[in-house]
A = this chain, B = another copy of it.
Amino acid sequence: MCLLSGGLDSTTCLAIARNQGLKCYCLSFDYGQRHSVELQAARRVAHSLGAEELRVVKIDLRCFGGSALTDAIGVPKDRDEADMAGEIPVTYVPARNTVFLSFALAYAEVIGADRIYIGVNALDYSGYPDCRPEFISAFEKLANLATKAGVEGTSTLRVEAPLLHMTKAEIVRKAVELGVDLALTHSCYDPDPSGNPCGHCDSCVLRRKGFAAAGVRDPLAERLSPA
């Protein structure tokens, strides 16, 4: 069971799980995000990496407001990592990974999966509270108390976050090593109407630096929005 947004991180996470020979069932969310073009990326990636299926759950996080990814607040532009560091970004969606993992848990329980893969990453972007190792570990404990299988002692569910301690450059290199077609992925928080990346949001900035540090050419670089 693999959470898949179609971005660089979750795509690499799925590739790692597939490379271990696992059958992968993917879950994406349509949560009223600005960048719903990422759902198309998730479909392309799931197909390309041979996932068993991709389910899309429609949820309504917009009713809570509070984030530039779902609200009308502007997405910050051209910030370097120093600007991003040490503060929680306005693109933080309240409790997003908690919500996503709880749906992943429901899905895992129904299909009988014993592992949940999530592409969170603690090193490059420490602003999100729910991307920290202690959060992942607390969710794993909760998951094993929350389900039928946990009560019956029939199985133990593991939450795998293989990118947790990798830099963006290491993630890019791992993706290349596993033969991932990175042209299929999508990272931008604020794409143009055709789905081209803006090149200026935090996600585009981190992606560019990651590819540069890895010494890899980003196939999306030539599709940058002219704006």
Contacts and interface: CB of A to CB of B under 8 A. Distances in A.
A106 B94 contact: yes
Chain A, interface size: which category?
Answer: 35 or more
Contact of A142 (B98, B150, B152): B98
A59 interface: yes
A65 interface: yes
Contact of A109 (B94, B102, B103): B94
Interface stretch (A13-21, A128-136, A166-174, A199-207): A128-136
A189 interface: no
A95 interface: yes
A66 interface: yes
A147 interface: yes
B146 A130 contact: yes
Contacts of A135: 142, 145-146
B150 A145 contact: no
A60 B93 CA distance: 19
Shortest 5 CB-CB contacts between residues of A and residues of B: A95-B106, A129-B151, A94-B106, A94-B109, A98-B102
Given A59-B60, A129-B148, A129-B151, 20 more contacts: A57-B60, A64-B110, A92-B148, A94-B105, A95-B103, A95-B106, A95-B109, A95-B146, A98-B105, A98-B106, A98-B143, A98-B146, A99-B102, A99-B106, A101-B102, A129-B145, A130-B147, A138-B145, A138-B146, A141-B141
